[in-house]
């Protein structure tokens, strides 16, 4: 199968014939529909515009929790492409609807607005032939551009779907954004606001969503396993004093050190992959002072909720025991205290590999002649997966490198494949 698949009616016939025996009937039938073929062909024909959008979006800074300026570009694009009920919710997500013949099934197609880079970062995109270079050019300016390209292609081809589609440019996917946009969209209480890890629960009145797809980054892939994470900032507090004159006081940095040593000895499973990391530490005022405060930031991850809960419980035990040992060492009960702030809570889980949403996405790849890989990751899909809503994340095509680095690059060669894939996945999932 060549990369020019779907360039002509003959190519379409060959694709359908070669893959018909492997596809669910729905995808095979879709490829017989002239409007669907027109939309997929439009995705490729419009790729130059998609690339221009990718650059345009990327040259507006959008650090997590400060995405409003870039969000305004997406709001305007939604209006120009005649989505209905275009709005911005209280979290900053930009939403627009494309009604189908019926309100349900309701499919949400999303791409995150935010990047890991601070607002003062130079976001000018540089072009070197087929290569684009700039912070966030792949993650996730590509996803945003493909999101808009899907809307454009379906509009040009006048595709009609049985179910309705809501397109979302969402906030808060990266870092301490903590999936805040998704938690708002799905009506999930944010555990970080109440300093406690809990099972996600939806608020009454949340939007009814039947299927969810995030478009995130480059490549052709299906992420159906959600890597969850718990992130804490732990502050150790004590009286503090002069290093000579007050010697004998319990020391917050010593307590922190005891905790780090215990965490370093954790035993975790190789499968499901479970990890822990003390990523940042700080505290103290001078070399000749017993500090009154020290802090550390800790990250724990796993795709298995039980494994994540286990390492989280061990973390709490390690911190508590470290405090007891430091106080006992100096005979000063309760001199050292701690505050454990949960600063990140991404739920873990998975959409089964044989779930209809995964099989449909795989069938789309086969139908288009593309090789689509399966994998795990921490994406916007974590939230709906944790709520048992059928959800996956797909790539936007092209090839990315240097993700989360200022030198990030995106190779536009054959990037239209990702756009076509996203168009057909969207249409397929909006069927009954």
Domain boundaries, the chain: 20-227+348-429, 229-343
Q: What angle do CA 213, 300, 135 make, to 5 degrees?
A: 55
Cα distance from N-terminal residue to C-terminal residue, the chain = 30
Q: Given this model, what pLDDT does residue 202 score?
A: 63
For the chain, give the number of residues.
Answer: 432
- The secondary structure of residue 21, as a DSSP letter, is G
Q: At a CB cut-off of 8 Å and minimum separation 6, what does 53 contact? A: 77, 144, 145, 148, 149
- The secondary structure of residue 22, as a DSSP letter, is G
Please name the CATH architecture into which domain 20-227+348-429 falls.
3-Layer(aba) Sandwich (3.40)
Q: What is the mean pLDDT of each run of 10 residues along the chain (432 residues)?
A: 36 38 64 96 98 98 96 98 97 98 97 96 96 97 98 98 98 93 89 50 76 97 97 97 97 98 97 96 97 97 95 98 98 95 94 96 95 95 96 98 95 98 98 91
Among candidate residues 358, 360, 351, the one with its CA nearest the CA of residue 25:
360
Alpha-carbon distance of 391 to 351, in angstroms, equals 7
| Fold (CATH) for 229-343 | Alpha-Beta Plaits (3.30.70)
Q: Given this model, what pLDDT does residue 204 score?
A: 61
Q: Given this model, what pLDDT does residue 206 score?
A: 74
Q: Given this model, what pLDDT does residue 9 score?
A: 39
Q: Given this model, what pLDDT does residue 28 score?
A: 80
Among candidate residues 351, 376, 377, 373, the one with its CA nearest the CA of residue 362:
373
Alpha-carbon distance of 287 to 380, in angstroms, equals 44
Phi and psi, residue 87, nearest 5° = -155, 165
Query: Any idea which residue has 């309701």 for tokens?
Result: 106
Q: Are 134 and 59 in contact (CB under 8 A)?
A: yes
Alpha-carbon distance of 1 to 21, in angstroms, equals 16
Q: Given this model, what pLDDT does residue 380 score?
A: 97
Alpha-carbon distance of 210 to 412, in angstroms, equals 32
Alpha-carbon distance of 394 to 76, in angstroms, equals 24
Query: Any idea which residue has 């499901």 for tokens?
Result: 272
Q: Where are the beta strands (DSSP E) in 205-364?
A: 211-215, 221-226, 228-237, 241-242, 274-283, 289-290, 293-302, 337-346, 349-350
Q: At a CB cut-off of 8 Å and minimum separation 6, what does 310 contact? A: 274
Q: Given this model, what pLDDT does residue 201 score?
A: 62
Alpha-carbon distance of 321 to 326, in angstroms, equals 9
Q: At a CB cut-off of 8 Å and minimum separation 6, what does 13 contact? A: none
Query: Any idea which residue has 């009920």 for tokens?
Result: 85
Alpha-carbon distance of 104 to 100, in angstroms, equals 8
Alpha-carbon distance of 316 to 288, in angstroms, equals 30
The reply to whether domains 20-227+348-429 and 229-343 share a CATH topology is: no
């Amino acid at each position: 199968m060549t990369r020019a698949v779907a360039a002509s009616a003959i190519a379409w016939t060959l694709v359908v014939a070669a893959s018909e025996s492997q596809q669910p009937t729905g995808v095979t039938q879709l490829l017989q529909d002239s409007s669907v073929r027109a939309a997929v062909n439009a995705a490729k024909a419009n790729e130059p515009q998609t690339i221009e959008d990718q650059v345009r979006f990327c040259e507006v800074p959008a650090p997590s929790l400060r995405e409003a300026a870039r969000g305004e570009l997406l709001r305007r694009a939604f209006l120009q492409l005649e989505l209905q009920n275009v709005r911005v919710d209280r979290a900053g997500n930009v939403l627009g609807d494309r009604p189908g013949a019926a309100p349900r099934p309701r499919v949400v197609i999303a791409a995150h607005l935010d990047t890991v880079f601070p607002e003062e970062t130079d976001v000018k995109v540089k072009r070197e032939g087929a290569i684009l270079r700039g912070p966030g050019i792949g993650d996730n300016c590509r996803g945003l551009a493909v999101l808009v390209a899907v809307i454009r292609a379906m509009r040009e081809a006048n595709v009609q779907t049985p179910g309705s589609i809501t397109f979302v440019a969402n906030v808060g996917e990266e870092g301490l954004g903590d999936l805040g946009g998704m938690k708002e969209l799905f009506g999930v209480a944010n555990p970080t606001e109440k300093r406690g890890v809990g099972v996600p629960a939806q608020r009454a009145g949340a939007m009814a969503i039947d299927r969810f797809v995030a478009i995130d980054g480059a490549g052709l892939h299906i992420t159906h396993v959600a890597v969850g994470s718990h992130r804490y900032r732990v502050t150790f507090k004590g009286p503090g004093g002069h290093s000579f004159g007050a010697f004998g006081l319990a020391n917050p940095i010593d307590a922190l050190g005891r905790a780090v040593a215990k965490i370093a000895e954790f035993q975790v499973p190789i499968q499901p992959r479970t990890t822990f990391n003390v990523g940042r530490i700080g505290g103290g005022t001078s070399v000749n002072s017993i500090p009154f405060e020290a802090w550390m930031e800790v990250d724990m991850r796993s795709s298995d909720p039980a494994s994540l809960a286990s390492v989280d419980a061990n973390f709490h035990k390690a911190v508590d025991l470290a405090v007891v040992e430091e106080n006992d060492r100096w005979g000063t009960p309760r001199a050292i205290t701690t505050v454990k702030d949960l600063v990140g809570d991404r739920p873990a889980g998975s959409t089964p590999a044989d779930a209809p949403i995964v099989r449909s996405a795989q069938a789309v790849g086969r139908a288009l002649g593309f090789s689509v890989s399966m994998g795990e990751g921490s994406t916007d899909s974590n939230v709906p997966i944790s709520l048992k809503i059928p959800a996956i994340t797909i790539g936007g095509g092209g090839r990315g490198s240097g993700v989360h680095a200022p030198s990030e690059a995106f190779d536009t060669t054959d990037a239209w494949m990702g756009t076509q894939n996203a168009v057909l996945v969207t249409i397929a999932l909006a069927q009954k």
